[in-house]
Amino acid sequence: MKTPLFIEQHFHGCYGIDFNTATVDDVLELSNKILNEGIGYIFPTLVTDSVENIKRQIQVIKNAANRQTSDMARICGVHLEGIFLNPEKKGIHDEKYFMSPTVENYKLLEDDFIKIVTLAPELADKELLSYLHSKGIKVQAGHCTGGDLSGCDGVTHMFNAMSGVTHRGESTALSALIQDNIFTEVIADDVHVSDDALRLVFKTKQMTQILLISDCLPCTHSNVKEFDFAGSKIYFDGEKATSAQGTLAGSTKLLPDIVKIMGKKELFNRQYVSNSYAYHGLTPYGEIEWDEDFNIIKVYANAK
């Protein structure tokens, strides 16, 4: 089997590197290594932090993008997953930095390198959603409770940190499942979403609207077992990473690892890789060759 190279549109780091604290050289090192894993495009994802630190790290990632060479996964822009979230579904995020999702507050950290914004639509001004769309930014509902997704392009990590399926009233997950125009991120790492919940998504959503993501953490593909992330101490036991209170902090697998898990359960479809290209309007420049057990045989990446 062959697939296009992956697009990582939601991940916080790997190889011990955290995008919220990384240097330009760190980002370049990561983008070089990750291409060899079969990842062709990346959207470094920033977790909730102070406005000053987020602005600093956007510039770090932007500067790294300007210094990339052909042997690196292309940095497409920043995914901002933080600040404009609902405290009721904060997950691992540090709510002391949360702000109301308004145009005025967004402009405090605005940058043309922000390409995806995760926010709680039930708290957001409609003006902000329109403003983000006018800038060509993807708006995703995440860490939220609202069921009105009319101003959103997609939802962030389906079922995780959102109101679940209900038989009365609206909810984020229910709206995402039944609205054909909504793209749906899914973490299929065998930890964040059960097999039955995955099957529900795959049976309910149009196949073209499903986006595989890793949401992986700095400990991924590293020897790091304890680290600071989003203002909390995180502990990695070799399978999952949680806070001291047991809150999941993200995945510990890259997309090729997740595809191997899905393949063994006969849940993987090549279409899921292609969907991210359609979502972002990107063109594949390489491919991955897999064996029958979903191990990577070879990564082919043409010079960009």
Per-residue pLDDT band at 167 (split at 50, 70, 90) = confident
Mean pLDDT, the chain, rounded, equals 97
Per-residue pLDDT band at 303 (split at 50, 70, 90) = low
pLDDT single digits (tens) 221-254: 999 999 999 999 999 999 999 999 999 999 999 9
pLDDT at 169 over 90: no
Host domain of residue 227? 2-301
Phi, psi dihedral angles at 226 (to 5 degrees): -135, 135
pLDDT at 304 over 80: no
pLDDT single digits (tens) 172-208: 999 999 999 999 999 999 999 999 999 999 999 999 9
Say whether pTM exceeds 0.95.
Answer: yes
CATH label of the domain that carries residue 120: 3.20.20.140
Domain count within the chain: 1
Average pLDDT over residues 115-129: 97
Average pLDDT over residues 38-54: 98
pLDDT at 166 over 90: no
